[in-house]
């Protein structure tokens, strides 16, 4: 959408009071996200009276799921766009569109020909390699409004990757609803394994890091494991939402994967990829979850010691099979279970971060810190953009997109502070350059990771 806006002569501003057009991209996946989206719409609508806003546009999953309800209850919104109708923003900006533009997302697939622009850190970008999902998880509504999985042509993905690199991106994050199933629905003449696609992207000139998100819990092909373990531009990072660990709960959730299989997958990954960072996600309070089953999940997290784990409270969605299940868990019980599991994961994350003290890490510089003056921020390979922690650097200016060698001097639960060991302008770090430069650092505030982009 930002690419469409730029093509139409608009520029992005961080301040709603300056905007002539405000676009709210919503999430309608779970109840908490719906509430946050609605609150944001109401808050930003005030700038139509108090600022220079001429158009308020709502797009995304909330518009897709509840178009008529939103239209009736929010007269202050000028246009609603569905999750597959973002390109029609051009018609809206040119006053050539109806108020309601909500199509069928099952017919839509992004293309490299669509305009793209980088937001926030211009060194990192996401590439959606497929759309939709074929899984039947009982708690998830995504297949209902995204449709079945449709994989993109690998050549089209490579063209988009090259374009993003030309815009300045050096980190490419591959996403979909079910990344390991990439390509299964492509014609045989176009179908390639995920490992081959990842390797081709990682070999493009200008790429520093390629990262994988949203892997369903299943055994990874040997070639993909080898890339994660040894390719210089494929980061040893896996995002694999497991959702639970007790077999009865996994069966109710219709995950198609039991606890023993999940343990084997974790062990396989840890063994094959020694420097692996493992991010996952769990749901607590799903209908039927007993205290014993929660304790089994708690013990599983103790055993696995994930680097990152998001913990969500179950959201009762009327359109999902889980809604029909009996034995609903009381909200207070669900909240207590979430607090316990989050506390455990924070303790594990803090211990793992403490292990980085005095270690040397390669840090991808993102730019000036959003939290501290005179400080730059970046990430090591085990930190994904937006959802994981950061590494703070201070001193002379760094160039966004460069990778610098850093010695870690401070650690909190999720964030690190480092001292640069080599001149940041050096493209190659040699032993002669290994000369430490002591710098002063600001104290850190605890930082919690945000919710992942998908469940």
Structure tokens at 314: 């179950």
Q: Do 346 and 367 belong to one domain?
A: no
Q: Domain holding 390: CATH number?
A: 2.40.50.140
Question: How confident is the model at residue 395, as a pLDDT?
Answer: 65
Where residue 41 falls among pLDDT bands split at 50, 70, 90?
Answer: confident
DSSP 113-135: TS-----SSTTEEEEE-EE----
Average pLDDT of span 388-408: 87
Residue of 145 and 448 predicted with greater confidence: 145
Q: Do 295 and 394 belong to one domain?
A: no
Average pLDDT of span 155-174: 94
Q: Do 365 and 343 belong to one domain?
A: no
Q: Do 209 and 319 belong to one domain?
A: yes
Question: How confident is the model at residue 422, as a pLDDT?
Answer: 65
∠ CA 361-366-372 to the nearest 5 degrees? 95
Question: How confident is the model at residue 305, as a pLDDT?
Answer: 97
Contacts of residue 265, Cβ cutoff 8 Å, sequence gap at least 6: 217, 218, 219, 220, 240
Average pLDDT of span 345-372: 91
Average pLDDT of span 283-310: 97
Q: Do 72 and 133 belong to one domain?
A: no
Is residue 69 one of the residues assigned to a domain? yes
Q: Do 150 and 283 belong to one domain?
A: yes
Q: Is the dihedral of CA 103, 108, 114, 117 positive or negative?
A: positive
pTM of the complete model: 0.82
d(CA 369, CA 366): 8
Number of domains observed in the structure of the chain: 3
Please say if the pLDDT value at position 447 is more than 70.
Answer: no
Q: Do 168 and 225 belong to one domain?
A: yes
What is the three-state SS of 289-336?
Answer: CCHHHHHHHHHHHHHHCCCEEEEEECCCCCCCHHHHCCCCCCHHHHHH
Question: How confident is the model at residue 438, as a pLDDT?
Answer: 36
Question: How confident is the model at residue 267, as a pLDDT?
Answer: 95
Question: How confident is the model at residue 3, as a pLDDT?
Answer: 73
Q: Domain holding 120: CATH number?
A: 3.80.30.20
Question: How confident is the model at residue 388, as a pLDDT?
Answer: 92
Q: Say whether 257 counts as a known binding-site residue.
A: no
Q: Domain holding 45: CATH number?
A: 3.40.50.12160
Q: What secondary structure letter does DSSP report for 228? A: H
Question: How confident is the model at residue 107, as a pLDDT?
Answer: 72
Residue of 7 and 38 predicted with greater confidence: 38
Where residue 340 falls among pLDDT bands split at 50, 70, 90?
Answer: very high
Q: Say whether 61 counts as a known binding-site residue.
A: no
Q: Do 336 and 378 belong to one domain?
A: no
Please say if the pLDDT value at position 286 is more than 80.
Answer: yes
Least confident of 114-123, 341-350, 385-394: 114-123
Where residue 288 falls among pLDDT bands split at 50, 70, 90?
Answer: very high
Number of H helices, E strands in the chain: 14, 17
Where residue 91 falls among pLDDT bands split at 50, 70, 90?
Answer: confident
The string of pLDDT tens digits covering residues 190-232 is 999 999 999 999 999 999 999 999 999 988 889 999 999 999 9
Average pLDDT of span 361-387: 88
Q: Do 342 and 252 belong to one domain?
A: yes
Question: How confident is the model at residue 439, as a pLDDT?
Answer: 35
Residues spanned by the domain of 387: 360-433
Is residue 228 one of the residues assigned to a domain? yes
Q: Do 86 and 137 belong to one domain?
A: no
Residue of 368 and 103 predicted with greater confidence: 368
Averaged pLDDT score across all residues of the chain: 85
Is residue 439 one of the residues assigned to a domain? no
Structure tokens at 70: 């939103």
Where residue 453 falls among pLDDT bands split at 50, 70, 90?
Answer: very low
Q: Say whether 320 counts as a known binding-site residue.
A: no
Q: Do 123 and 95 belong to one domain?
A: no
Where residue 106 falls among pLDDT bands split at 50, 70, 90?
Answer: low
């Amino acid at each position: 959408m930002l690419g469409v806006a730029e093509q139409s002569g608009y520029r992005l501003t961080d301040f709603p009071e300056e905007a002539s057009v405000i676009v709210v991209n919503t999430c309608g996946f779970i109840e908490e996200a719906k509430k946050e989206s609605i609150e944001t719409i109401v808050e930003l609508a005030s700038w139509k009276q108090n600022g220079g806003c001429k158009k308020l546009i709502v797009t995304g999953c909330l518009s897709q799921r509840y178009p008529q309800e939103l239209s009736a209850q929010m007269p202050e919104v000028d246009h609603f766009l569905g999750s597959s109708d973002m390109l029609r923003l051009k018609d809206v900006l040119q006053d050539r569109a109806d108020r309601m533009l909500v199509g069928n997302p099952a017919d839509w697939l992004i293309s490299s020909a669509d305009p793209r622009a980088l937001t926030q850190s211009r060194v990192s970008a996401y590439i959606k390699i497929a759309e939709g999902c074929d899984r039947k998880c009982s708690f998830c509504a995504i297949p209902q409004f995204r449709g079945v999985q449709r994989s993109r042509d690998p050549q089209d993905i490579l063209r988009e990757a090259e374009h993003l690199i030309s815009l300045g991106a050096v980190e490419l994050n591959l996403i979909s609803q079910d990344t390991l199933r990439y390509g299964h629905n492509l014609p045989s003449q176009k179908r390639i394994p995920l490992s081959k696609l990842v390797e081709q992207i990682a070999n493009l000139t200008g790429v520093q890091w390629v990262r994988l998100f949203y892997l369903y819990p299943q055994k990874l092909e040997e070639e993909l494991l080898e890339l994660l373990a040894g390719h210089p531009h494929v980061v040893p990072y896996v995002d694999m939402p497991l959702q639970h660990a007790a077999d009865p709960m996994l069966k109710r959730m219709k995950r198609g994967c039991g606890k023993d299989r999940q343990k084997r997958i974790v062990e396989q990954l840890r063994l094959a990829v020694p420097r692996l960072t493992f991010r996952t996600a769990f749901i607590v309070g799903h209908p039927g979850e007993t205290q014993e089953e929660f304790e089994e999940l708690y013990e599983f997290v103790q055993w696995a010691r994930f680097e990152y784990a998001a913990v969500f409270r179950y959201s009762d969605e009327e359109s999902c099979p889980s809604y029909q299940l009996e034995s609903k868990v009381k909200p207070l019980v669900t909240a207590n279970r979430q607090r316990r599991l989050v506390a455990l994961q924070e303790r594990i994350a803090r211990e793992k971060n403490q292990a980085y003290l005095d270690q040397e890490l390669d840090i991808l510089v993102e730019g000036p810190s959003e939290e501290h003056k005179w400080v730059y921020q970046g990430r090591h390979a085990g930190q994904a953009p937006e959802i994981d922690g950061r590494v703070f650097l201070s001193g002379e200016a760094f160039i966004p997109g460069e990778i610098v060698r850093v010695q870690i001097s401070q650690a909190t639960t999720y964030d690190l502070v480092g001292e640069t060991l080599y001149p940041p302008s050096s493209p190659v770090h040699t032993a002669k350059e290994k000369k430490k430069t002591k710098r002063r650092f600001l104290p850190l505030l605890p930082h919690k990771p945000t919710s992942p982009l998908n469940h």
